[in-house]
Structure 1
Amino acid sequence: MKRHGIGVIGYGVWGTHSLQEILLRQEGVEMVGVSSHDRWGECQFGDTVAAGRKYAGEKGCAFWEDWEKVVEDPSVDIVSVMTSPVSKLEVVLAALERGKSVVM
Protein backbone atom coordinates (compact mmCIF):
# COMPACT_ATOMS: atom_id res chain seq x y z
CA MET A 1 0.00 0.00 0.00
CA LYS A 2 1.26 3.47 -0.87
CA ARG A 3 2.08 5.73 2.04
CA HIS A 4 0.71 9.28 2.02
CA GLY A 5 2.53 11.88 4.10
CA ILE A 6 0.67 14.89 5.47
CA GLY A 7 2.23 18.25 6.24
CA VAL A 8 0.28 20.84 8.19
CA ILE A 9 0.77 24.56 7.64
CA GLY A 10 -0.79 26.62 10.40
CA TYR A 11 -1.69 25.29 13.80
CA GLY A 12 -3.43 28.26 15.33
CA VAL A 13 -7.11 29.15 15.42
CA TRP A 14 -7.91 27.20 12.22
CA GLY A 15 -5.51 24.32 12.67
CA THR A 16 -6.63 23.01 16.03
CA HIS A 17 -9.58 21.09 14.57
CA SER A 18 -8.25 20.25 11.16
CA LEU A 19 -9.09 17.78 8.43
CA GLN A 20 -5.72 16.07 8.80
CA GLU A 21 -6.98 14.47 12.02
CA ILE A 22 -9.65 12.68 9.94
CA LEU A 23 -7.14 11.76 7.24
CA LEU A 24 -4.73 10.32 9.81
CA ARG A 25 -7.33 7.68 10.70
CA GLN A 26 -6.94 6.20 7.21
CA GLU A 27 -4.56 3.32 6.56
CA GLY A 28 -1.28 4.36 4.93
CA VAL A 29 -1.46 8.01 6.03
CA GLU A 30 1.13 9.51 8.36
CA MET A 31 2.05 12.92 9.68
CA VAL A 32 5.36 14.19 8.29
CA GLY A 33 5.60 17.68 9.73
CA VAL A 34 3.93 20.79 11.10
CA SER A 35 4.67 24.43 10.44
CA SER A 36 3.37 27.10 12.76
CA HIS A 37 4.55 30.66 13.05
CA ASP A 38 1.71 32.42 14.77
CA ARG A 39 3.10 35.31 16.79
CA TRP A 40 -0.27 37.11 16.71
CA GLY A 41 -2.12 34.07 18.03
CA GLU A 42 0.49 33.53 20.70
CA CYS A 43 0.12 37.13 21.87
CA GLN A 44 -3.67 37.07 21.75
CA PHE A 45 -4.50 33.60 23.03
CA GLY A 46 -1.39 32.17 24.67
CA ASP A 47 0.13 28.75 24.22
CA THR A 48 -3.17 26.94 23.64
CA VAL A 49 -3.41 28.40 20.14
CA ALA A 50 0.26 28.71 19.23
CA ALA A 51 0.91 25.04 19.99
CA GLY A 52 2.30 23.76 16.69
CA ARG A 53 5.54 22.54 18.24
CA LYS A 54 3.63 20.58 20.92
CA TYR A 55 1.30 19.09 18.29
CA ALA A 56 4.29 17.95 16.20
CA GLY A 57 5.79 16.34 19.29
CA GLU A 58 2.54 14.51 20.03
CA LYS A 59 2.44 13.21 16.45
CA GLY A 60 6.14 12.30 16.44
CA CYS A 61 6.89 14.40 13.38
CA ALA A 62 9.05 17.34 12.34
CA PHE A 63 8.33 20.95 13.29
CA TRP A 64 9.26 23.93 11.13
CA GLU A 65 8.59 27.63 11.70
CA ASP A 66 9.07 28.18 7.96
CA TRP A 67 6.00 26.91 6.06
CA GLU A 68 8.01 26.54 2.85
CA LYS A 69 9.83 23.58 4.41
CA VAL A 70 6.53 21.67 4.36
CA VAL A 71 5.87 22.15 0.64
CA GLU A 72 9.52 21.45 -0.22
CA ASP A 73 9.67 18.17 1.71
CA PRO A 74 9.54 15.27 -0.79
CA SER A 75 7.88 12.99 1.78
CA VAL A 76 4.85 15.32 2.03
CA ASP A 77 2.11 14.33 -0.43
CA ILE A 78 -0.81 16.20 1.14
CA VAL A 79 -0.65 19.71 2.56
CA SER A 80 -3.28 20.72 5.10
CA VAL A 81 -3.47 24.53 4.84
CA MET A 82 -4.86 25.99 8.06
CA THR A 83 -3.47 29.50 7.76
CA SER A 84 -5.38 32.75 8.02
CA PRO A 85 -7.19 33.86 4.85
CA VAL A 86 -4.57 36.57 4.28
CA SER A 87 -1.79 34.06 3.58
CA LYS A 88 -3.81 31.07 2.33
CA LEU A 89 -3.53 31.81 -1.42
CA GLU A 90 0.27 32.03 -1.39
CA VAL A 91 0.58 28.77 0.54
CA VAL A 92 -1.94 26.86 -1.59
CA LEU A 93 -0.32 27.98 -4.86
CA ALA A 94 3.15 27.03 -3.62
CA ALA A 95 1.94 23.55 -2.64
CA LEU A 96 0.13 22.99 -5.94
CA GLU A 97 3.15 24.16 -7.94
CA ARG A 98 5.16 21.41 -6.26
CA GLY A 99 2.58 18.75 -7.11
CA LYS A 100 1.10 18.39 -3.63
CA SER A 101 -2.55 17.65 -2.93
CA VAL A 102 -4.12 20.38 -0.79
CA VAL A 103 -6.85 20.22 1.84
CA MET A 104 -8.30 23.22 3.64
Structure 2
Amino acid sequence: MAVEKAGIKIKKKGGWFQKIPSDVLLSPGGMILILVALLLELLDLFPVPIIDQLWEAPLEIAFIILLVLIAKVPLKSLIVPFIIERIPGISDLLPTWLIRLFF
Protein backbone atom coordinates (compact mmCIF):
# COMPACT_ATOMS: atom_id res chain seq x y z
CA MET A 1 0.00 0.00 0.00
CA ALA A 2 1.45 3.38 -0.99
CA VAL A 3 0.53 6.83 0.26
CA GLU A 4 1.32 9.94 -1.73
CA LYS A 5 2.53 13.03 0.12
CA ALA A 6 3.76 16.15 -1.69
CA GLY A 7 4.13 14.24 -4.94
CA ILE A 8 6.28 11.53 -3.34
CA LYS A 9 4.97 8.00 -2.98
CA ILE A 10 5.67 6.55 0.43
CA LYS A 11 5.27 2.82 0.77
CA LYS A 12 3.70 2.00 4.11
CA LYS A 13 5.12 -1.08 5.75
CA GLY A 14 2.45 -3.34 7.12
CA GLY A 15 2.67 -6.13 9.59
CA TRP A 16 3.42 -6.44 13.25
CA PHE A 17 6.81 -4.71 13.40
CA GLN A 18 7.26 -1.32 11.80
CA LYS A 19 10.51 0.57 11.52
CA ILE A 20 10.42 4.11 12.89
CA PRO A 21 11.90 6.65 10.43
CA SER A 22 15.26 8.13 11.42
CA ASP A 23 13.90 11.70 11.33
CA VAL A 24 11.44 10.75 14.08
CA LEU A 25 14.17 9.06 16.14
CA LEU A 26 16.43 12.11 15.83
CA SER A 27 13.69 14.52 16.91
CA PRO A 28 13.39 15.55 20.58
CA GLY A 29 10.54 13.08 21.05
CA GLY A 30 12.62 10.34 19.46
CA MET A 31 15.45 11.07 21.86
CA ILE A 32 13.02 10.64 24.75
CA LEU A 33 11.99 7.28 23.28
CA ILE A 34 15.61 6.18 23.07
CA LEU A 35 16.34 7.29 26.64
CA VAL A 36 13.29 5.47 28.01
CA ALA A 37 14.26 2.36 26.01
CA LEU A 38 17.78 2.47 27.47
CA LEU A 39 16.35 2.93 30.97
CA LEU A 40 14.14 -0.12 30.47
CA GLU A 41 17.11 -2.17 29.34
CA LEU A 42 19.22 -1.02 32.30
CA LEU A 43 16.45 -2.03 34.69
CA ASP A 44 16.49 -5.49 33.09
CA LEU A 45 20.13 -5.88 34.11
CA PHE A 46 19.16 -5.88 37.80
CA PRO A 47 16.75 -8.79 38.25
CA VAL A 48 14.78 -8.28 41.45
CA PRO A 49 11.81 -10.69 41.19
CA ILE A 50 8.90 -8.78 42.75
CA ILE A 51 10.13 -5.20 42.65
CA ASP A 52 11.20 -5.65 39.04
CA GLN A 53 7.60 -5.89 37.80
CA LEU A 54 6.51 -3.00 40.01
CA TRP A 55 8.61 -0.47 38.15
CA GLU A 56 9.07 -2.20 34.81
CA ALA A 57 5.41 -2.74 33.85
CA PRO A 58 4.38 0.93 34.31
CA LEU A 59 7.46 2.06 32.37
CA GLU A 60 6.62 -0.40 29.57
CA ILE A 61 3.09 0.97 29.36
CA ALA A 62 4.40 4.55 29.35
CA PHE A 63 6.86 3.57 26.60
CA ILE A 64 4.04 2.10 24.51
CA ILE A 65 1.98 5.28 24.94
CA LEU A 66 4.98 7.42 23.93
CA LEU A 67 5.57 5.26 20.85
CA VAL A 68 1.96 5.64 19.77
CA LEU A 69 1.94 9.41 20.37
CA ILE A 70 5.42 10.38 19.16
CA ALA A 71 6.29 7.83 16.49
CA LYS A 72 2.71 7.11 15.34
CA VAL A 73 3.34 3.37 15.66
CA PRO A 74 0.13 1.33 15.41
CA LEU A 75 -0.90 -0.22 18.69
CA LYS A 76 -1.17 -3.70 17.12
CA SER A 77 2.58 -3.71 16.43
CA LEU A 78 3.26 -3.26 20.15
CA ILE A 79 1.17 -6.17 21.42
CA VAL A 80 3.61 -9.00 20.64
CA PRO A 81 6.68 -7.28 22.16
CA PHE A 82 4.69 -6.45 25.30
CA ILE A 83 3.68 -10.10 25.69
CA ILE A 84 7.26 -11.27 25.06
CA GLU A 85 8.48 -8.89 27.75
CA ARG A 86 6.18 -10.58 30.30
CA ILE A 87 7.67 -14.07 29.72
CA PRO A 88 10.42 -14.78 32.28
CA GLY A 89 13.77 -15.71 30.77
CA ILE A 90 12.97 -14.57 27.25
CA SER A 91 12.66 -10.94 28.31
CA ASP A 92 16.23 -11.00 29.61
CA LEU A 93 17.63 -12.43 26.38
CA LEU A 94 15.60 -10.54 23.80
CA PRO A 95 15.63 -6.74 23.96
CA THR A 96 12.08 -6.05 22.82
CA TRP A 97 12.61 -2.29 22.98
CA LEU A 98 15.08 -2.79 20.14
CA ILE A 99 12.41 -4.56 18.12
CA ARG A 100 9.98 -1.71 18.80
CA LEU A 101 12.40 1.05 17.83
CA PHE A 102 14.24 -0.30 14.82
CA PHE A 103 12.45 -3.27 13.23
Relative to its length, the structure with more helix (as a share) is: 2
Which category describes the TM-score, using the shorter chain as reference length? under 0.3
Relative to its length, the structure with more strand (as a share) is: 1
Max radius of gyration: which structure? 2
* TM-score after normalising by structure 2: 0.27
* TM-score after normalising by structure 1: 0.27
